Amino acid sequence: MSAFPKEFLWGAASAAYQVEGAHDADGKGPSIWDTFSHLPGTTYQGTNGDVAVDHYHRFREDVALMAEMGMQSYRFSISWPRLLPQGRGTVNEAGVKFYSDLIDALLEHNIEPMITLYHWDLPQALQDEGGWEARSTAEAFEEYARLCYQRYGDRVKLWSTFNETVCFIGFGYITGGHPPGVQNPARAIQACHHVFVAHAKAVAAFRTSGIAGQIGFVNVLQTHTPLSQSAEDLAAYQLAEGIFTHWLYDPVLKGEYPAELLAQTQALWGVPQFAPGDEQLLRDNICDFIGLNYYKRETIAANNQESHLTINTTGEKGSGHQQGNEFGFKGLFKFVRNPNGVYTDWDWEIYPQGLTEGIMNIKARYGDIPIYITENGLGAKDPIIDGEVVDDDRIDYLRQHIGAIEDAIKQGADVRGYYPWSFIDLLSWLNGFQKQYGFIYVDHNKDLARQRKKSFFWYQKLIASNGAE
Ligand code: BGP
């Protein structure tokens, strides 16, 4: 017997841009990722989501595979410009129908849908008006959220507003590696504030919608450890905690920014600027649950060298952590290789205990908030032996992380579901199709044929035994 409660949800996750394809089908408008991925040099070998794994046309086959694996819940995102090609205003009914059919197919197989409203594919039309830097985008988001509640709220109980602010704001406005490709911390902070405002407005609208469900926010669970106990490394570690945890979780779980950091950024850059009522809005709209995406631990050190902002997107081990050239920000901190750590080919440290530690940190800071592990997985180039995808490393990775969740539950955390990334091999934003995460392999040389991996059968057994295996 495992420690998992019997109503625990065993699921898997994906995001619209990474699986759907059909980028201009049936009236869909372009998103910022459609634009960005077509610019030269932005993604691995120019890969993009034009076709992705064509889930848009094959979703019935995919849902049947999910059901065969025994999945009890499916976390997917809605493409905002598929529903509202201009970001607001005219509704594209064909786009509405796609998700409606997907939801029905899931429910027919007893798979609980969990919707993410925003997994990074902002309508290009809104970016042209300023994107998240414009407050009007928060208002458009509220309109979009209301439309989703209206059309799907009769069938969908689990909702989250945003996926991983740290990525789409951090990469979008600080490193410039994601759209809109800006490198300006002050602009990042203001854009991030509008995301919190949009979230709070969407939560408020949810609470008046009458939907019998829950709404949350999904963040990266970034577990940090200092490289050494030196005063400099400890200060860098504290700062990283402040930015990656407190700044990004406090506004949605406590309804306010961490006071000290807020005072510092306002003194330094004059941001975030609040509109009248913003503080009250945040305070009044605390989430029902938090979604945690955990892949790796980060080792933090002080950084006096120049900022270095590129990451390993090739899968060439070691390229992301070259000594003296690590990803980091001058004067703040850098992410360094842990000399005793085990790393993936993309230089992500595999550290399952970090998931237990991270969950317990969240509980310590925010109390008994319900938790879903909304992403967790191993990105790898899977071995194919005699035509079979033998992804033993993935099985090991997932097994250890499930054990880490079980430990957190034993220590009193209210973890309600687990969504490995991902149910199928899909497009990795900057790493193309070579970085595989799924239980199902997709053959890009054979009409995108689906094939069950070894992990598919392993997860099937694990679900059937409620985590006991
Ligand atoms: C998360 C994103 C996912 C997914 C995953 C793996 O940050 O929410 O969309 O892509 O990371 O990342 P990558 O594809 O870069 O390996």
Per-residue pLDDT of the chain (469 residues; tens, 9 = 90+): 799 999 999 999 999 999 999 999 999 999 999 999 999 999 999 999 999 999 999 999 999 999 999 999 999 999 999 999 999 999 999 999 999 999 999 999 999 999 999 999 999 999 999 999 999 999 999 999 999 999 999 999 999 999 999 999 999 999 999 999 999 999 999 999 999 999 999 999 999 999 999 999 999 999 999 999 999 999 999 999 999 999 999 999 999 999 999 999 999 999 999 999 999 999 999 999 999 999 999 999 999 988 888 889 999 988 877 777 789 999 999 999 998 999 999 999 999 999 999 999 999 999 999 999 999 999 999 999 999 999 999 999 999 999 999 999 999 999 999 999 999 999 999 999 999 999 999 999 999 999 999 999 999 999 999 999 7
Ligand 1 atom nearest to 346, measured from its CA: 16
Task: Give 119 Cα–ligand 1 centroid separation in angstroms.
Answer: 10
- Catalytic: 164? yes
- Residue 469 identity (one-letter amino acid): E
Q: Which of 169, 168, 160 is nearest to 217 (CA)?
A: 160
Going along 193-278, which residue ranges are E strands? 214-220, 223-226
How many whole angstroms from 426 Cα to the centroid of ligand 1? 10
- ipTM, two decimals: 0.99
Q: What pLDDT does residue 6 have?
A: 96
Distance CA 185, CA 268 (A): 11
Name the closest-CA residue to atom 10, ligand 1: 428
Which pLDDT score, from 0 to 100, does residue 310 have?
Answer: 85
Q: How far is the CA of 169 from the centre of ligand 1 (A)?
A: 14
Question: For residue 145, how far is the Cα from the chain centroid?
Answer: 18
428 Cα: distance to centroid of ligand 1 (angstroms): 6
Return the half-sphere exposure (C-beta side, CA atoms, 13 A cut-off) of residue 177: 18
Q: Residues near ligand 1 with C-beta < 6 Å?
A: 15, 18, 163-164, 167, 293, 375, 379, 421, 428-429, 431, 435
**Which value, in Å, is the radius of gyration of the alpha carbons in the chain?**
21
Query: Active site residue: 133, 164, 298, 349, which one?
Result: 164
Cβ atoms within 10 Å, residue 325: 14
Considering the candidates 142, 349, 357, 375, report the single residue annotated as catalytic. Answer: 375
pLDDT number for residue 126: 98
Name the residue with the closest Cα to ligand 1, atom 14: 428
- Relative orientation angle of helices 353-366 and 392-410, to the nearest 10 degrees: 30
- What DSSP state is assigned to residue 247? I
Query: 123: helix, coil or strand?
Result: strand
45 Cα to the center of ligand 1, angstroms? 17
Whether 326 is catalytic: no
pLDDT of residue 266: 96
The atom of ligand 1 lying closest to the CA of 218 is 8
Per the CB < 8 A criterion, the answer to whether 79 and 92 are in contact is no
- CA 193 vs. chain centroid, Å, equals 18
User: Is the previous residue joined to 370 through a cis bond, with omega within 30 degrees of 0?
Assistant: no
Q: Best mutation site among 421, 424, 434 for ligand 1, i.e. most ligand atoms within 8 A of its Cβ?
A: 421
pLDDT at residue 325, rounded to an integer: 79
**Ligand 1 center–CA 429 separation, angstroms:** 7
For the entire predicted model, the pTM comes to 0.98
Out of 75, 312, 375, 431, mutate this one to test ligand 1's pocket (max ligand atoms within 8 Å of CB): namely 375
Closest residue by Cα to atom 6, ligand 1, is: 428
Tokens 């030196």 label which residue? 230
For atom 13 of ligand 1, which residue has the closest CA?
Answer: 428
